[in-house]
């Protein structure tokens, strides 16, 4: 294979990973539009007086973000099928109808990771919205992967073995960059209080 073919394969594999993980990548983008109301931790504090998650993690953001990102995933599932790019019976999200569980798990797992991140941030004494490099950009990826692992190990396996490790590493960079861009846009249009 020539260098260009290798590069093309790598980019196509990266594209496969991005499209597959779009339900995880977009759940956090929907949350600021839908969030508000009672916080997930119900305002409870730890023994040291710090909040468990803080007011930035609300039920509306969690459920609304999960539902919207899942709907996006279902639309992609149908669209890719009819475009002939990935079959509905056994495609990017595994076999049908398990794919109907995998897509919402990615969406919810991402927001679960976001909450894990907030839990760590609060435990470290950082207030809501404080900039926390690495956690801010990757907590959702970690959450989606952790969440899907115990439930669907067979899908996880096909997801990984189907492609190259270099593409997975590149995805971490794409996830980081997508987070930066999305949050700057969110800040500019006024749905996010901070640009990170
Ligand atoms: N959001 C929400 N519920 C969630 C996640 C996010 O309501 N489960 C909304 C909140 O309005 C939040 C905004 O999306 O302020 C941006 O999310 P994020 O940056 O993750 O929250 P922060 O306010 O920065 O809080 P933290 O420091 O805990 O990350
Ligand atoms: Mg934040």
Which pTM was predicted? 0.94
> Which of 33-42, 61-70, 90-99, 180-189 bottoms out in mean pLDDT, i.e. has the lowest?
90-99
State the burial class of residue 145 (Cβ atoms within 10 Å of its Cβ: 0-12, 13-18, 19+): middle
For residue 148, pLDDT beyond 90: no
Q: What is the pLDDT of residues 14-51, one digit of tens each?
A: 999 999 999 999 999 999 999 999 999 999 999 999 99
Mutate to test the pocket of ligand 1, among 27, 29, 30, 31 (most ligand atoms within 8 A of CB): 31
* H/E run at residue 90: strand 90-91
Q: Could you tell me the distance, in angstroms and rounded to a whole number, from the CA of residue 100 to the centre of ligand 1?
A: 26
pLDDT score, position 151: 67
> Which of 108-112, 150-154, 189-193 bottoms out in mean pLDDT, i.e. has the lowest?
150-154
Is 66 touching ligand 1 by the criterion CB < 6 Å? no
pLDDT score, position 164: 84
């Amino acid at each position: 294979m020539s260098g260009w073919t290798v590069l093309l394969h790598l980019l196509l594999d990266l594209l496969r990973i991005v499209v597959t993980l779009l339900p995880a990548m977009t759940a956090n983008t929907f949350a600021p539009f839908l969030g508000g109301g009672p916080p997930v931790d119900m305002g409870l504090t730890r023994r040291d007086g710090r909040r468990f998650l803080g007011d930035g993690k609300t039920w509306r953001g969690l459920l609304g973000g999960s539902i919207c990102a899942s709907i996006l995933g279902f639309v992609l599932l149908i669209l890719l099928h009819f475009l002939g790019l990935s079959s509905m019976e056994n495609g990017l999200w595994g076999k049908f109808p398990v794919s109907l569980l995998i897509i919402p798990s990615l969406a919810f797992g991402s927001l679960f990771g976001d909450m894990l991140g907030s839990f760590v941030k609060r435990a470290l004494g950082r207030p809501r919205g404080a900039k926390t490099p690495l956690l801010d950009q990757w907590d959702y990826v970690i959450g989606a992967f952790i969440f899907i692992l115990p439930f669907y190990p067979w899908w996880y396996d096909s997801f990984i073995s189907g492609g190259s490790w270099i593409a997975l590493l590149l995805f971490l960079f794409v996830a980081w960059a997508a987070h930066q861009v999305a949050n700057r846009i969110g800040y500019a249009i006024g749905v996010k209080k901070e640009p990170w």
